[in-house]
Amino acid sequence: MRRKNKYNIAVVGVGAVGIEMLRVLRQRNFPVAELRVFARSAREIDVDGQKYQVQPISAEGFDGIDIALFAGTEGEKGASVTFAGEAVKRGAVVIDNGADFRMDPDVPLVVPEANPKDAKKYRKKGIIANPNCSTIQMIVALSPIHNVAKIKRIIVSTYQAASGAGRGAVEQLKNELSALNGSGYQEIRLPDTQDRALPQQLAFNVFPHIGGFAELDYTSEEWKMVKETHKIFHSDKIKVSATTARVAVRTGHSEAVYIETKKDISVDEIRGLLKNAPGVELVDNPKENLYPLPIDCEGKDAVYVGRIRKDPFVKNGFWLWVVSDNLRKGAALNAVQIAELLIAKK
């Protein structure tokens, strides 16, 4: 990409992730010459008091664009498959938040804190993929440890917020909580309805079903964490096993992450690595009830890590508690950080 003082940027999609992309671009003072916002239909939107004119998406709309940020998420496939190639043909680099290109061997899958050099590989197809939100925060937390002690095993359980399933899921949670307000314990079960964005009642509930059930009865979300971790760390030798659950939280994914390392390392050394790691905020004082909470991370850039402790029965086995805003670092911020890599002088 030719170095410029300012760049023509396109944002495709104005759902929760697209709106967060617009917010992040503005907050980080990205050097934008012209900003075009695309969706299925034309309209005006307001983001934090800033008005944006949304244009109907078309191939010609990418003429002159330097970087195109596609905000696609699960359930909204189509835009990147249809228009990413058109944007590339017209000279843009595409950064795609959807799942369509993540496992393409010619498309780099990038978390800037972990594998920034991979972003340079975009030249093969002109596309860089954003990992899944739950993968991103785990990789940010584990990368500093992996660089020093080489992780050989990961067992992760996620507790994922409603916003990870889109605005419909957030609305479902809101409506269910409203309907159940003041109900006694025996009356908290809502009748089944066809209007649910999620397969189960979310209010007062947790269910281990994100994505579709796939090979060996793991869900597609769980397999994403396996395959994306292998691709980002450039190793399929790491044993990764995941269970992903949906919880009654609006925004902010939480993860209980268990790791085993090849090399000896202590809890204090892990804390030291994470304290100085880019993109990580260490919150680890359980005696004072200080540990990462999703309610505290909403709208924040960092990946928060705490509850770091050694497995008393396994050598080089450790637990970490990892929390991050899934719409921000888990999607929009990571994409904009990739764009910043592309325009960096070094």
Active site residues: 133, 253
C-beta of residue 255 within 8 angstroms of C-beta of residue 323? yes
For the chain, give the longest Cα–Cα distance: 64
Residue among 146, 115, 143 nearest 316 (CA): 146
Q: DSSP secondary structure string, 128-183?
A: EEPPPHHHHHHHHHHHHHHHHH-EEEEEEEEEE-GGGG-HHHHHHHHHHHHHHTT-
* Amino acid identity at 160: Q
Parallel, antiparallel or unpaired: strands 93-96 and 206-207:
unpaired
C-beta of residue 119 within 8 angstroms of C-beta of residue 342? yes
Q: How many residues does the chain have?
A: 346
**Residue corresponding to tokens 């957030």:** 170
User: How many Cβ atoms from other residues are within 10 Å of residue 56's Cβ?
Assistant: 11
Gyration radius of the chain's alpha carbons:
20
Please report which helix (H) or strand (E) contains residue 32, including its range: strand 32-39
* Side-by-side strand order, sheet with 239-247: 206-207, 239-247, 151-160, 253-261, 317-324, 303-310, 280-282
Please report which helix (H) or strand (E) contains residue 46, including its range: strand 43-47
